[in-house]
């Protein structure tokens, strides 16, 4: 076989292989990128999208706003925890829930800037903060396929985005899950959101909790292992919050910040790091603090699992911040923290932690 013929065969086989790889990836659409960016009409008409790995909501959520800018003027940002907060129950704007996996303040800032650049009118921005915001740097997740941001926000090209998602070798488990979905009717992983971006994928679990009156998760043993925060990650988040505050004043929109409630077992690991973060946030802006050891965070029935609170907790958060809804608010849940009361607030939470540990730890 001469060199020319060998080269043609090699190129042809390589081309066929790449075509098969792209076709498989494009069809499976493990991260929902095809549906979000290359077929947005289908995505908007179907709230139930199967994703073998998980929907990249860093891309899908902004795209829904870009495609319907007239429908929304207010936004709630956060992680998967805040995804259960119902935008329709929030007052003072037409809200969309922009929650996405491990969303960081620097990413929220980038999205808000993109909205303003697109000419989207903003009335209110609500930011739900997690303890992870002060320990994870954007650099740690910017190349993770589940966390890559919308190309308009990053300035990346659609061609490069297409290459990253569809020209890679698909994982065996992705092919296996798609096979089971097609031929066995198994569909374990969905991205299910309503037209306002709220995650409705946990509604069945919510019904189970209501029906049984019992928690549906198994708790880990109580362990007190304080986690040190990265100064770099903490400063990045604080700088982003500060810039959001400046943007709010400059563009005449309201910025509301709150700290998400964390199950008491998880809170024990982050309490000390949060104390320092809370003190610094108060120097930037007022915020509502739903974390700590209170009647909600120490109640297993308030949580879907140790990492996520229930829809009814989201309703309580809305009631505390906006005053809307008929749900009762526990008196110890949700403190408005300012420069004036932050030291007293942290002192009180330190005492609560000390008392809690004395009762629960041997």
Tens-digit pLDDT profile for residues 33-90:
888 887 655 555 444 455 656 788 899 899 999 999 999 999 999 999 999 999 999 9
CA distance 360 to 341: 29
List CB contacts of 292: < 8 A, sequence separation 6 or more: 267, 271, 349, 352
Q: Region 327-347: what's the mean pLDDT?
A: 95
Enter the pTM of the model: 0.90
Per-residue pLDDT at 45:
47
Does 203 score more than 60 pLDDT?
A: yes
Does 211 score more than 80 pLDDT?
A: yes
Residue 43 in domain: no
Q: Region 204-210: what's the mean pLDDT?
A: 91
CA-nearest of 315, 319, 323 to 82 is 315
Q: What is the mean pLDDT of the chain?
A: 87
Q: Region 211-215: what's the mean pLDDT?
A: 92
Q: What angle do CA 245, 251, 252 make, to 5 degrees?
A: 85
Residue 93 in domain: yes
Residue 9 in domain: no
Per-residue pLDDT at 359:
84
In this structure, are residues 105 and 129 in contact, taking their beta carbons and an 8 Å threshold? yes
CA-nearest of 100, 92, 144 to 122 is 92
Residue 27 in domain: no
Q: Region 152-158: what's the mean pLDDT?
A: 90
List CB contacts of 218: < 8 A, sequence separation 6 or more: none
CA distance 106 to 133: 9
Residue 351, token pair as written in the block: 């005492």
Residue 63 in domain: yes
**Orientation of helix 105-117 relative to helix 231-251, angle to 10°:** 30
Q: 343 is in which domain, residue-wise?
A: 55-155+188-360
Q: Region 135-158: what's the mean pLDDT?
A: 84
Q: Region 186-190: what's the mean pLDDT?
A: 59
Residue 172 in domain: no
Per-residue model confidence as pLDDT tens digits over 295-326: 999 999 999 998 899 999 999 999 999 998 88
Higher per-residue confidence, 2 vs 111: 111
Does 260 score more than 60 pLDDT?
A: yes
User: What secondary structure letter does DSSP report for 300?
Assistant: G
Q: For position 222, which CATH number holds?
A: 3.40.50
Task: Report which listed range, 10-24, 143-157, 306-320, is most confident.
Answer: 306-320
Q: Between β-strands 287-289 and 335-337, what pairing exists: parallel, antiparallel or unpaired?
A: antiparallel
Residue 114 in domain: yes
Beta pairing partners, 76: 97, 126
- At which residue do the structure tokens 């909790």 appear? 209
CA distance 98 to 110: 13
Q: 41: burial class by Cβ within 10 Å (0-12, 13-18, 19+)?
A: exposed
- At which residue do the structure tokens 């037409």 appear? 94
Q: What percent of the chain has pLDDT above 70?
A: 92
CA distance 5 to 203: 60
The mean-pLDDT minimum among 128-137, 207-216, 236-245 falls in 128-137
CA distance 295 to 335: 13
Per-residue pLDDT at 46:
46
Beta pairing partners, 336: 288
Per-residue pLDDT at 50:
55
Residue 353, token pair as written in the block: 């932690």
Q: Between β-strands 287-289 and 254-259, what pairing exists: parallel, antiparallel or unpaired?
A: parallel
Per-residue pLDDT at 218:
84
How does residue 91 score in pLDDT terms, banded at 50, 70 and 90? very high
In this structure, are residues 109 and 244 in contact, taking their beta carbons and an 8 Å threshold? yes
Q: 301: burial class by Cβ within 10 Å (0-12, 13-18, 19+)?
A: middle
Per-residue pLDDT at 1:
58
Residue 79, token pair as written in the block: 């992680």
Instruction: Give 3-state DSSP helix, strand, coil % of the chain, rounded to 5.
Output: 50, 10, 40
Burial 8-33 (b: 16+ CB within 10 A, else e): eeeeeeeeeeeeeebeebeebbbbbb
Does 289 score more than 50 pLDDT?
A: yes
The total domain count for the chain is 1
User: What secondary structure letter does DSSP report for 199?
Assistant: B
In this structure, are residues 175 and 24 in contact, taking their beta carbons and an 8 Å threshold? yes
């Amino acid at each position: 076989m001469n060199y020319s013929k060998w080269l043609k065969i090699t190129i042809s086989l390589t081309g066929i292989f790449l075509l098969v790889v792209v076709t498989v990836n494009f069809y499976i659409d493990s991260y929902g990128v095809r549906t979000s960016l290359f077929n947005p009409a289908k995505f908007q008409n179907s709230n139930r999208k199967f994703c073998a790995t998980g929907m990249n909501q860093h891309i899908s959520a902004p795209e829904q706003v870009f495609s319907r800018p007239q429908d929304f003027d207010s936004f709630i940002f956060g992680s998967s925890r805040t995804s259960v907060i119902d935008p329709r129950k929030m007052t003072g704007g037409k809200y969309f829930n922009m929650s996405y996996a491990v969303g960081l303040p620097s990413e929220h800032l980038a999205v808000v800037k993109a909205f303003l650049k697109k000419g989207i009118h903003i009335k209110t921005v609500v930011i739900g903060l997690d303890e992870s915001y002060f320990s994870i740097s954007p650099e740690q997740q910017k190349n993770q396929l589940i966390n890559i941001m919308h190309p308009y926000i990053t300035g990346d090209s659609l061609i490069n985005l297409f290459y990253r998602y569809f020209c890679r070798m698909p994982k065996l488990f992705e092919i296996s899950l798609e096979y089971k979905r097609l031929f066995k009717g198994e569909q374990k992983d969905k991205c299910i959101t309503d037209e306002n971006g709220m995650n409705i994928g946990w509604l069945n679990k919510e019904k189970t909790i209501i029906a049984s009156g019992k928690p549906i998760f198994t708790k880990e043993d109580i362990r007190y292992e304080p986690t040190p925060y990265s100064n770099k990650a903490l400063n990045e988040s604080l700088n982003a919050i500060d810039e959001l505050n400046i943007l709010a004043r400059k563009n005449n929109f309201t910025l509301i910040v709150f700290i998400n409630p964390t199950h008491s077992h998880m809170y024990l690991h982050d309490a000390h790091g949060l104390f320092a973060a809370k003190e610094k946030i108060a120097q930037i802006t007022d915020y509502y603090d739903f974390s700590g050891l209170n009647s909600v965070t120490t109640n297993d029935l308030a949580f879907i699992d140790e990492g996520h609170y229930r829809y009814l907790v989201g309703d309580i958060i809305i009631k505390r911040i906006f005053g809307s809804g008929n749900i009762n608010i526990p008196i110890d849940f949700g403190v408005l923290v300012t420069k004036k009361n932050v030291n007293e607030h942290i002192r009180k939470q330190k005492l609560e932690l000390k008392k809690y540990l004395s009762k629960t730890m041997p």
